[in-house]
Amino acid sequence: MTETLTLDKPRSPRRPAARRSNFELYSWLFMRLSGLALVVLVLGHLFIMNILDGGVHRIDFAFVAGRWASPFWQFWDLSMLWLAQLHGGNGLRTIIDDYARKDTTRFWLKILLYVSMAIILVLGTMVIFTFDPNIAT
Amino acid sequence: MPTTASPPAMAGTSRRSGTLYIGDPGMWSWVAHRITGVLTFFFLFVHVLDTALVRVSPSAYNAVIETYKTPLVALLEVGLVGAVLYHALNGIRVMLVDFWSKGPRYQRPMLWGLIGVWVLVMVPGAFFMLQRAATELFGGH
C-alpha cells in the first residue's frame, strides 16, 4: 500500500521555480557589447564627417550619394543606426525607471520613448535601403 | 569670548558645512555619463530626421545641411563631439572596471587619464571644426 505524501504549497517538492527573467542581465551585457562597437562606429563617423578634409563644410546631397554608393558605408551606417538607437533607448529606459516617481508617468514616458525609437529605426532603415541618387532627375 | 562664540555663528555660512553633497569624482563621472548620453540620444533623433530629407529632394537636404555649417551650430557640433568622446572614453573605463580584475583599483587614475585623452583630442579637434567659422566671423586672410 502506497501512501502519497501531500505537502502544502510552500514545502511542496514541485513548487514552481521563481519566475524571474534575465532581461536586465542581457540588457547590461548589450550596453557593453554595443558600446564597444559604437566606440569605433560613432567616433569614426564623427571624425570623417566633422574633422577630416573640411569636415561638415563638404557635406551635401552629392557627398551622401557618393558614400551610400558603397555597401561598406551602407552597412556601417545601418549598424550604427540600430546599435546607437537600441543603446541610447536602453539608457533612457534606465533613466526613466530611475527618476519617474509615479507609475503612470513612467508608463507614458516609456511609451513615448518606444514610439520614438520605432519611428527612428523604421525611417532610418528605410532611408538607407531606398536611397535614390537620381531622385531629382 | 569671541573664540568660543564664533563656531556656532559661522555654521551654515561656510560652504563646507552646507548641505550640498560634493561626492567622489567617480560619482561625477557617472553624472556626466548620463548627461552626455541623453544629449547624444536627442541629437540622434534630430539627425536621423534631417538625413531622411535625402528621400525628399537634394535641395531640401542641402538647405538643412547648410544650417550645420553656420558658426553657432559649428560650436554646438564641438559640444556634441566632446559629449560623445567623453561618453565613449568613460564607457571604456566602465568596461575595464567591470571586466578587468584590476579595473576597480585603477578607476580613479583611469578617470584622470580619460580626461587627459579628451583634452588632447578636443584641442586639435575643436581647431579643425571651428577653423572655417572663425575665418567667417573675424575675417581671415
ipTM of the complex: 0.82
Between chains, do A88 and B41 touch, taking CB under 8 Å as contact?
yes
* Segments making up each domain of chain B, as ranges: 24-138
Closest Cα of chain A to B63: distance in Å?
9
pLDDT in tens, B20-64: 788 889 999 999 999 999 999 999 999 999 999 999 989 999 999
Dump pLDDT digits (tens) for A80-134: 999 999 999 999 999 999 999 999 999 999 999 999 999 999 999 999 999 988 8
Residue B65 neighbours by CB distance under 10 Å: 20
Torsion of CA A66, A71, A77, A81, to 10 degrees: 140
- One-letter amino acid at B41 equals F
**Four-way CATH pick for A24-130: 1.10.110.30, 1.10.10.60, 3.40.190.10, 1.20.1300.10:** 1.20.1300.10
How many whole angstroms separate alpha carbon B122 and alpha carbon B112?
15
Decide which of 3.40.50.2020, 3.40.250.10, 1.20.1300.10, 1.10.3720.10 is the CATH code for B24-138.
1.20.1300.10
In chain B, which residues touch A (CB < 8 A)?
34, 37-38, 40-41, 44-45, 48-49, 51-52, 54-55, 57-59, 61-62, 65, 68-69, 74, 77, 80-81, 84-85, 88, 91-92, 94-95, 98-99, 125, 128-129, 132
CA–CA separation, B119 vs B113, rounded Å?
10
Distance spanning both ends of chain A, measured CA to CA? 91
Contact call for residues A57 and B130 (beta carbons, < 8 A): no
